[in-house]
Structure 1
C-alpha cells in the first residue's frame, strides 16, 4: 500500500508541474555546447518560454510527454518513496535514542532513488525526447520524431534492443542519487526538527508542508548540474548501434558543458527547475505524507 500511495502522490503532483518540465527540458538543451552569446536564445526565461511555446507550438505543447511523465513518476516514486517509507516505518533510519540518523536517511533515499530511476529509465528517456520536440523555429537540441510513448519505445527497442532502451540509465543515476538523498534527508530532518520545536500543532499538515518547502530548495541547488547533464545524455543523437554521438557519459557531459558554456551553463534552466522541482517536491512529499498518515491512522 505504501508503494501505491507514493506513486499516486507523485502522479498528482506531476499533472500540475509537467508544463514546467517541458520548459526546463528546452532551456537545458538551448545553446548546447555553444559559448554564451554565439547562439539564438529562443527562451530567455521561464515566463518567456511559456509564452513562446504556447504561441508557436500551441498550448497543448505545454503538456507534451505527460503520459510517460505520469508513468515514470508512478513507477519511480512508487518504488522510491514506498521503499523509503517502509525503511522509516520499521525504524531503520533512527538511532538507538529514537532520533533520525541523517547518514542512514541520505543513504536510504539514494538507494531507493537508484532502484526507481533505473527501472523507469526508458520511460524517462522517451519523456525527454517528446518534451524536446518543437516547431523548427524554436527547436533546441536533437529532434526525435516520435509519435507517442508506445511508438517511441517500440521503435527504439526494435532498432537498438534492450540496451538502447536503457541508454543513459547509468548517466542518469547520479542525478537521482543526489536529488533523492537530498530530498528525503532534508524532508525527514526538517520535519523531525519542526516536531521537536513544536512550531506547529502535533500531526498538523503544516509540518509536512514546511518540511517539503525546505526540501524543494535544497534539491534544486544540489541536483541542477546533474539534471542538465542527464537531459542532454538522454536526448543526444545516436549512431546505428545506439551509442551517443556527443557524450561518453555523465562526467564527459558535465566537463564539456562547463568547458564550453561555463559554470553557469551547468545551471541552465535553474529557474524552471525551481518552479518545477519546488512545487513537485512540495506536492508529492505533502501528498505522500498525508496519504500515509490517513492510511495508517484510519484505514487499518
Structure 2
C-alpha cells in the first residue's frame, strides 16, 4: 500500500514532539553534564577548583547557589534543539529507509542501516546546531562562585541568536557544529532498538563512544570568540585542535567529564521519548479514525 504523502512530515512531527516531552524531564541532567564538561577546561587534575564533585553534588550545588529553577536553564533552546534535530533526523531516516535502506528483496541490510543512520544524524545535527549552541551558553551561565568555562552573554533565546548573528553573521550560528554532527551521527540514543535489544552494557557502550564528542562539542560551542568572524576561537581553532588540546592538557579522562550525567540521562530520555512517541502516534491514529467515521 502506498504511504500517504504527508508521512514524512508526520515522522518529523512525531520525532520532534516525543523527544521534546522527554527533554522536559531530562534537561536538569543536561545542565549538570554541561557544567561538569567545562570544569577544569584545559587544566590538569588537581590544578583547578572542583565545584561539582559528581552528579548528585552538582545538583545540590546548582540548586543551593542559583535556585532549583536553575536546573532547567536552557530549556527553551533545548526543546527547540530536540524538535529540530530529531525531527530532521527521524524524518530523513524515514525517507532514506523508503528509498535506500532495503535491498531488492525488501530486507534491511546492516551496512545501509549504518550509512542511513549516519546521514540522518548528520542532517539532524547540522540543522539543530544553533539551538545546541544557545542551550550550551545558557546552561553554562552560572553564579560566579560556581562558574566554570567561559561565561557567554545570554539574554534569552532570540536575543542570543540575534546577537550572535549581528556579530559573526550566519556562519556564527554554526560554530562548533563539527562536534555536534559527529556526536549524533555515530550513535542514536533515541533509537527504537536500544530499549528492546540492548542492556545496561549497551548504554555504557554508547556513552563511552559518544561522550568524547559530546565534550568536544560543548567546549567548541562555549569558548570565547574574538574578532569579526566565528573562527576566532580563543581556545580551539576547530574540532581536531580541540581533541588534541583536551588530551594534551587533561589526559584521556578529560574526554569523559560528565559521563555519569550522560549515563543517567540516557535511560530516562530514551524510555520517555518512546512513550511520548507511541502516545503521539496513538492519538493521531484515533483522531484519524474518528475523522474517517464522521
TM-score normalised by L of structure 2: 0.86
Deviation for aligned residue 1:86: 4.0
Report what 1:19 is aligned to. Answer: 28
- Tell whether 2:63 aligns with 1:54: yes
Between the aligned partners of 1:297 and 1:220, the Cα distance in structure 2 is 37
Matches within 5 A, 1:209-288: 209-211=195-197, 216-241=203-228, 242=230, 243-288=232-277
Between the aligned partners of 1:114 and 1:84, the Cα distance in structure 2 is 11
Deviation for aligned residue 1:138: 0.3
| Structure 1 contact 114–177 (Cα < 8 Å) conserved | yes
SS at match of 1:109: helix
Residue number among 144, 149, 158 corresponding to 1:150 in the alignment: 158
Deviation for aligned residue 1:154: 0.8
SS at match of 2:169: helix
Between the aligned partners of 1:138 and 1:5, the Cα distance in structure 2 is 38
CA offsets 1:117-169 (integer angstroms, 9 cap, x no match): 11121111111000000000100000012111111111111111112111112
Between the aligned partners of 1:290 and 1:85, the Cα distance in structure 2 is 19
CA offsets 1:85-113 (integer angstroms, 9 cap, x no match): 3444x374334555432221121111111
Deviation for aligned residue 1:290: 5.7
| Structure 1 contact 29–141 (Cα < 8 Å) conserved | yes
Uncovered stretches (5+) of structure 2, i.e. residues with no partner? 1-9, 290-294
Between the aligned partners of 2:113 and 2:281, the Cα distance in structure 1 is 18
Residue number among 162, 171, 174 corresponding to 2:179 in the alignment: 171
SS at match of 1:74: helix
Report what 1:161 is aligned to. Answer: 169
CA offsets 1:22-81 (integer angstroms, 9 cap, x no match): 000000000000001111110000000000000001101000000000011001101111
Between the aligned partners of 2:218 and 2:49, the Cα distance in structure 1 is 20
CA offsets 1:216-256 (integer angstroms, 9 cap, x no match): 44431210000001100000001122321111111111111
| CA RMSD after TM alignment | 2.3
Deviation for aligned residue 1:268: 0.7
Report what 2:5 is aligned to. Answer: none
Report what 1:28 is aligned to. Answer: 37
TM-score normalised by L of structure 1: 0.85
Uncovered stretches (5+) of structure 1, i.e. residues with no partner? 191-208
Between the aligned partners of 1:174 and 1:129, the Cα distance in structure 2 is 20
Check 1:212–1:77 CA distance in 2 against 1; reply closer, same or farther (3 A cut).
Answer: farther
Instruction: Select between 49-58 and 287-296 the one with higher mean Cα deviation.
Output: 287-296
Between the aligned partners of 2:271 and 2:121, the Cα distance in structure 1 is 17
Deviation for aligned residue 1:296: 6.5
Report what 1:40 is aligned to. Answer: 49
Residue number among 77, 82, 91 corresponding to 1:82 in the alignment: 91
Check 1:167–1:91 CA distance in 2 against 1; reply closer, same or farther (3 A cut).
Answer: closer
CA offsets 1:164-184 (integer angstroms, 9 cap, x no match): 11111233221121133x764
